[in-house]
Each structure stands twice: as C-alpha cells, then as structure tokens.
Amino acid sequence: MQPHVSATPHIRRTVAAALTAALLVPLSACGNGGGAGHEADAGSPSSPAGAKGAHLTVLAASSLTDAFRTAKEAYEKSRPGTRVNISFAGSQELAAQVKQGAPADVLVTADTRTMDALRAETGDATVIAKNRLVIAAGKGNPFGIDELKDLGDSRIKVVLAAPEVPVGRYGKQILDAQKIEVRPVSQEPNVRAVLSKVELGEADAGLVYKTDSAKSGDKVVTVDIPDAQNAVASYPAAALKQSRNAGAAAAFVAWLSGPEAQKILQDAGFQKA
C-alpha cells in the first residue's frame, strides 16, 4: 500500500497543467494529420485537393457502372486517402434507399424525374451526361431486327425494363409514340438485367441504353433507333442533404461536370450534357 501524501495546492496545479499539456499533444496531432475536421476542410468545393482524405458513398444508376468504375479510380488516384464506394442499382431502387435514410453522400440517376421527386433530400442537381436508347438483338440477330416496329412481331421474345425504371419508361414512351404493341416476356429492375437476358439468349431483343449495348461486344447486335423515334436520357447528380461529408459530396458532384470526368463519360459513349 502506498503511503498517503497530502498534495499542496501548488503541486496539484502543477500536475493538472502537465496532464492538460499531455492530452493536447495527441489532439493537435489528429487535427494536423487528417482527422474529421481535416477531412471536412479538404472536402470543401473551394479546396484545391477536392475531397482529399474523404470517404464517400455514391448511389449511381446501373447504366453508369463501367464509366463510374473508371471515374472512381481516377478520382481516388488524384486524391490520396480518398475512398469512393459506389452502389449501382435502378434509379427507382436508389430513390427508395434515399427515402429510407440509407447512409450515402451523392446520388446520380438516369432521369430527371426521379431526381426531381427527391428535392427534399438533395441539394441542387446538375445534369452530367445524356444517353439514348438502342435495340439490343440476340447474337447474330437471327430475326433480322433492323427497326423499332420489328419488336411488335409476336414471334420475337422482347424483354423490357419495368415501367417505373427510367429505361423502361423511356422504352414505353417511344413504343407508344410509334403505336407499337409489345408484350414483353419479362420486365426487369434495371437496364443491366435487360441486357443480360438478351446476352444469355433468354430473350431475342430488348431496349437498352447505347452505352450498355456497346459493352456487350459480339454478344448482342446493336440496332440504332432514329433520333425522331428515340428518347434522350439525362443523368443528374446531386449531393444528399443527409451526407456527413457535405463539402466532399459537393466537390465530387462538381468534379463530375469537369473535364476529367466528362472525358471518361464520353469515352464510355455518353453524350455531353
């Protein structure tokens, strides 16, 4: 047992000062070495480094999968310590996640309608790219599909996206405008699922985005749809109000409209916004 020692007021003040100084050292080091406060500063739109050191979660439309994987690598490479996690799904699924309060920082949809319905949950949206629909026909195009009206042939198994999915809504829009009746063999939750059905031979044709069909190589035959019969898909991006990295989220959205990201999107086949 230690003997009891009564400390004088002077000694107590000296010990307290020493302990306070010792505690301040690691806190100061954290502030200079990239703690939460440092990440917020680095992530502000005015920072030259953009979102350096931030960890972001991005919810993005399925049709952006390939382009955004490339964009993620480019963004992280130029900002050491930054991590961008991307979750891909149909825009309607992403909207449901946002409304349910899923932890995320940025949302990018394949249509302005879905984004507009989330105004209470997002900051200002910026259209970063555009796309168009094409017909993806099965390998070798055995039915000789060469125009939109061919999809009305009852012998052809057509797969479409569900009408609540942007590409499904665009597809219905252009088919209705041309008075073409199509009875799809299935309605899928996103454009990648539609394309997969055609690639696997489970359907003879489907309406997909041009950028998705281009990635299939010789697995499908791409049939262009004339502009007069087509629809333009717009891709808006916005920071989410629920984000805990508001500055970093805004910086990433701004970067998507910049030259580096725009080149990646256009190399992937997207049209300039």
pLDDT per position as a tens digit, 120-170: 999 999 999 999 999 999 999 999 999 999 999 999 999 999 999 999 999
pLDDT of residue 53: 76
pLDDT band at 87 (very low <50, low <70, confident <90, very high): very high
Q: Using the predicted structure, report yes or no on whether residue 25 has a pLDDT greater than 60.
A: no
Sign of dihedral through CA atoms 76, 82, 84, 85?
A: positive
Q: Using the predicted structure, report yes or no on whether residue 23 has a pLDDT greater than 90.
A: no
Question: How much is the pTM?
Answer: 0.79
pLDDT band at 5 (very low <50, low <70, confident <90, very high): very low
Q: Across all residues in the chain, what is the average pLDDT?
A: 85
**Euclidean distance between CA atoms 107 and 58, whole angstroms:** 6
Q: How would you class 4 by CB atoms within 10 Å of its CB: exposed for 0-12, middle for 13-18, buried for 19 or more?
A: exposed
Q: Using the predicted structure, report yes or no on whether residue 95 has a pLDDT greater than 60.
A: yes
Q: Using the predicted structure, report yes or no on whether residue 246 has a pLDDT greater than 90.
A: yes
According to CATH, the topology of domain 131-232 is: D-Maltodextrin-Binding Protein; domain 2 (3.40.190)
Quick one: tokens of 112? 């302005």
- Over residues 180-228, the pLDDT tens digits come to 999 999 999 999 999 999 999 999 999 999 999 998 989 999 999 999 9
Span 63-85, average pLDDT: 97
Span 90-113, average pLDDT: 97
pLDDT band at 9 (very low <50, low <70, confident <90, very high): very low
How far CA 6 is from CA of 2, 3, 10, 12, 69, in Å, comes to 12, 10, 12, 10, 66
Q: What is the gyration radius of the CA atoms in the chain, in angstroms?
A: 26
Q: Using the predicted structure, report yes or no on whether residue 21 has a pLDDT greater than 60.
A: no
pLDDT of residue 52: 57
pLDDT of residue 77: 96
Considering only residues 121 and 18, tell me which one the structure prediction assigns the higher pLDDT.
Answer: 121
According to CATH, the topology of domain 49-130+235-267 is: D-Maltodextrin-Binding Protein; domain 2 (3.40.190)
CATH 3.40.190.10 occupies which residues in the chain? 49-130+235-267, 131-232
Q: In 100-190, where does DSSP find H-type helix?
A: 112-116, 166-177
Contact status, residue 235 vs residue 213, Cβ threshold 8 Å: no
Span 98-111, average pLDDT: 97
In percent, the amount of the chain with pLDDT more than 90 equals 79
A 10 A CB-CB count for 165 gives 28
pLDDT of residue 150: 98
Q: Using the predicted structure, report yes or no on whether residue 266 has a pLDDT greater than 90.
A: yes
pLDDT of residue 7: 43
pLDDT of residue 229: 97
Per-residue DSSP letters for 142-200?
TT---SGGGGG-TTS-EEEE-TTSHHHHHHHHHHHHTT-----SEEESSHHHHHHHHHT
